[in-house]
Amino acid sequence: MKRHQRLGLTQTALLAVLLSLPVQAQTAAEAPAAPPAEPAAAATPQTAPLQPPASILPDPDKQKFFLTLTEAIDVAQRQNHDILLAEERIRDARLQITETGAQGLPQLSATASYGRQDPVTAGQATNVSSGGAAGGGLTDNPQFAAFLGTASVNTFQSNVTLSQTLFAGFRIVDAVRLANVNVDMMLQALRQTRQNVAFRVTNAYFNALRAWQVVQIEEEALAQAREQIRAAEVRIKAGTGVKLDLLQAQSQMLQIQQRLSQSVNAYEKAKMQLNQVMGRETDYPVLLNNYATVAAYQLDEAQSLQTALENRADLRQIRLQKEISEMNAVIQGRTLWPTISAQIRYSLQDNAVVNGNSANIQNLNYGLNMNWPIFDGLAAQSKVQRAENSAQQAQINLNQKQQQVILDVRQAYMDVDEVLEREQLALAGVELAKENLRVARISYREGVGVMLDVITAQNNLQQAQNNLVTARFDLNIRRAALYQALGLDIIDQLR
């Protein structure tokens, strides 16, 4: 009886051991392996510290190509061909001032000449004054022999003349004033050219920046499309999804990839256009400033109109052109006035006969000249009338340009207001599209929605983001156009 009891205990213990073996084996399998024994210190290899991935390291090569909008305008204004040509015209206009003013300064000139006379044939003349005997008399005179051409003669002549215009009917003074006004007009032309170049660079810069932001939106949409594919595959594996959802998500990803390729191409073209406007090589690397903006203008419309009428470079050019025409009419009216000038002339003439004597003559002449064109066939009167007509045309152009400036300013204000309203609507559209996408994803995850609703919501969000990017791009361009209409420098309004 006791033996059977011991056998029962033994079987019970054995069964307990057998039941515990799988658990111990599983526990041993799940337990982490013991760390290996550390090698000796002498055998420890020296390894370099781990480096972060290259994708998150700063790229010094890219940083040197970073370009702000202000720097882009500076580069363009140094290298643009239109600006360089305008600067050369200013230099030419300033040289005209010197050239015109020189007419009222003393004029000093010197001339010199040298000549030699050699006889072709030599003959002997008879000296009639000495009774026919050769040797003395008139024929032996070197100067008479030079006159007859029978002797070699060296001739030297020099003249020094000093002249001064005393009175020219104020035409020289008026011409100098006219040349100075012409310089002012060239300076305004340069200013207008600089402003036009700055606006073109601003437009090209924001166009490239807009293309870059569209690329970012497309890349974000592509990542979302891949997530939709993953979600569809998970639901299919779980037996709760359909093949159509996966096909729709894959089709959406292909469409986004195509748009992304087009957006990248547009971005590269926009950078090439920016480099071309700046006067650089079209393939020059560029890294744009994503935070570039044009500051808002603070004055009201009435003050802005006054600012534009005073600052616009094209208006100033027309005013100066009118002033030039009026001054030209005055100058042409004085062409019949007398001109008085004084002159002093020193002359030296020396005739030296070879193997003979020389004749030296020196003179100093003084003179006072007056030229008075009494009648020129009414040519001067016609020139005056033409100049007055040009001044009247300039006044008409000025009135027309002033009306155009007022129209430009008012339209620029209307454009800015319209874009500001469109930007607010675009912001609201983005928020609404995000909420619709969130609801569509929750519905699809809970099994009450379909993939097509998610794809439609995602496309609507992408379109809303593009509308917001376009509105902000248009806002910066419209503000730049407003400063252009006001005659202000855009480079002073950037932030």
Supply the pLDDT for residue 356: 64
CB atoms within 10 A of CB 93: 19
Domain membership of residue 477 as a residue range: 62-105+168-337+379-493
> Would residue 50 count as lying in a domain?
no
How many whole angstroms separate alpha carbon 313 and alpha carbon 302? 19
Answer yes or no: do 456 and 361 share one domain: no
Residue 150 and residue 181 in one domain: no
Instruction: Tell me, yes or no, whether 55 lies in a domain.
Output: no
* Residue 435 in tokens: 């909420």
Domain containing 257 — which CATH number?
1.20.1600.10
Strands 358-371 and 287-288: unpaired
Do the Cβ atoms of 202 and 69 come closer than 8 Å?
yes
Residues of the chain with pLDDT under 70: 1-63, 120-151, 354-358
Does the residue 394 lie in any domain? yes
Q: What DSSP character marks residue 361? A: E
| Per-residue model confidence (pLDDT) at position 495 | 75
Answer whether residue 16 is part of any domain.
Answer: no
Over the stretch 17-59, which tens digit does the pLDDT of each residue have? 333 433 333 333 333 333 333 333 333 333 333 333 343 334 5
Q: Mark whether 253 and 294 lie in a shared domain.
A: yes
CA distance 371 to 81: 47
Find all residues with CB under 8 Å of 67, minimum gap 6, and list them.
286, 287, 288, 289
Structural domain count, the chain: 2
DSSP 344: E
Amino acid at 173: V
Q: What pLDDT is stored for residue 47 in this prediction?
A: 32
Does 35 fall in a domain? Answer: no
449 and 359 belong to one structural domain: no
Six token digits for residue 237: 């594996």
> How is residue 446 written in tokens?
């809970």
* Same-domain pairing of 82 and 184: yes
> Do the domain assignments include residue 254?
yes
